[in-house]
């Protein structure tokens, strides 16, 4: 489906903060999409293009990122704020519930929303993300986490001063080529160009400050309470949210399904969108008893 199939909506969060959302209305079933920090519609478009066409989709820019404003006074933005904003968006659009799909930090947002409003969640699709303390994910607690937090803090300070110089880089083909060459992502530079170009409009200092705050968020206390169908995915070569985190979450959520996506990094929804979409469609068709014609056959990796 083309990007212009989505209608951009100017709306407001739970405290009146102006937000930017995109809506695609199709059938009565909704995919409520919680993106990662630094992710917006172009990052998801390859996956949306491959999903069964009957899904209606809601996706929004988190407060303080891309097209959404930050709250007055530059107050700290916490994970629960995004859940409250989602609740407001659903009320504004007349959506009573749906499948909650999160990627990267969006996994924490999805789990937090289930904690707050479980009656609004029919199923969880948790894609390549940490379930808490995002900066502890790559190396675990201890020295590695302290170094990662320290580097993120320095990045926040530097970004505030260097942003004017950094912004034009995100549209340069060399940046995508470098990411591919270093193994940070897999695929062609053209695959990642739209998602990288969107970063030109991202407040990088606020992005890193939000990441530091997300590192304080914990959901492990409520995993045993999850009672809806849950699909958990991991990229086989993901260094940001390693497979072991998905395995831990799978063990903690009773009845969940774990899928390791072969030969992909943190950005599997861009690298293998067709494979990811078939897996999501198949899981939801089986667990929610959808009609077969709403899904496509799953393909090999």
Distant-in-sequence, close-in-space partners of 90: CB < 8 Å, separation ≥ 6: 32, 58, 96, 97, 120
At 194, the pLDDT band (50, 70, 90 cuts) reads confident
For residue 36, pLDDT over 60 is answered with yes
Q: What is the mean pLDDT of residues 42-66?
A: 96
For residue 295, pLDDT over 70 is answered with no
For residue 299, pLDDT over 50 is answered with no
At 185, the pLDDT band (50, 70, 90 cuts) reads confident
For the chain, the average pLDDT equals 89
What pLDDT was estimated at residue 283? Answer: 97
For residue 134, pLDDT over 60 is answered with yes
Tell me how far apart the alpha carbons of residues 73 and 168 are, in angstroms, rounded to a whole number: 28
Least confident of 170-179, 238-247, 278-287: 170-179
Residue 262, Cα to own-chain centre: how many angstroms?
19
Percentage, residues of the chain above pLDDT 90 = 68
Tell me how far apart the alpha carbons of residues 25 and 55 are, in angstroms, rounded to a whole number: 8
What pLDDT was estimated at residue 297? Answer: 39
How deeply is 139 buried, as exposed, middle or buried, from its count of CB atoms within 10 A (0-12, 13-18, 19+)?
middle
What pLDDT was estimated at residue 137? Answer: 75
For residue 276, pLDDT over 60 is answered with yes
Q: What is the mean pLDDT of residues 27-47?
A: 95
Give the single-character DSSP code of 62: P
Least confident of 25-34, 169-178, 219-228: 169-178
Q: What is the mean pLDDT of residues 193-214?
A: 88
What pLDDT was estimated at residue 74? Answer: 78
Q: What is the mean pLDDT of residues 246-260?
A: 97
Three-state DSSP class for residue 100: strand
What pLDDT was estimated at residue 195? Answer: 81
Q: At what angle do helices 143-166 and 204-214 cross, to 10 degrees?
A: 160
């Amino acid at each position: 489906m083309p990007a212009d199939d989505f209608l951009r909506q100017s709306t407001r969060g739970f405290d009146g903060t102006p937000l930017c959302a995109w809506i695609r209305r199709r059938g009565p079933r909704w995919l409520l999409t919680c993106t990662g920090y630094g992710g917006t519609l172009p990052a998801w478009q390859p996956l949306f293009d491959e999903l069964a066409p009957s899904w209606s989709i809601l996706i929004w820019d988190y407060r303080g990122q891309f097209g959404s404003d930050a709250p007055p006074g530059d107050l700290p933005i916490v994970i629960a704020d995004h859940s409250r904003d989602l609740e407001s968006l659903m009320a504004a659009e007349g959506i009573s519930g749906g499948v909650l799909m999160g990627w990267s930090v969006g996994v924490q947002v999805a789990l937090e929303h289930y904690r707050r409003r479980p009656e609004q969640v029919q199923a969880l699709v948790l894609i390549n993300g940490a379930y808490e303390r995002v900066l502890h994910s790559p190396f675990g607690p201890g020295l590695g986490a302290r170094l990662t937090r320290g580097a993120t803090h320095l990045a926040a300070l530097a970004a505030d001063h260097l942003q004017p110089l950094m912004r034009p880089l995100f549209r340069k083909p060399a940046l995508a080529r470098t990411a591919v060459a270093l193994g940070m992502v897999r695929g062609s530079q053209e695959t990642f160009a739209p998602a990288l170009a969107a970063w030109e409009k991202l407040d990088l200092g606020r992005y890193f400050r939000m990441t530091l705050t997300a590192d304080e968020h914990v959901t492990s206390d409520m995993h045993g309470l999850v009672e809806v169908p849950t699909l958990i995915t991991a990229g086989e070569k993901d260094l940001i949210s390693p497979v072991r985190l998905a395995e831990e979450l799978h063990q903690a959520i009773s009845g969940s399904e774990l899928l390791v996506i072969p030969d992909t990094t943190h950005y599997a929804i861009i690298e293998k969108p067709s494979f990811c979409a078939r897996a999501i469609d198949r899981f939801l068709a089986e667990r929610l008893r959808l009609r077969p014609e709403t899904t496509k056959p799953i393909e090999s990796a």
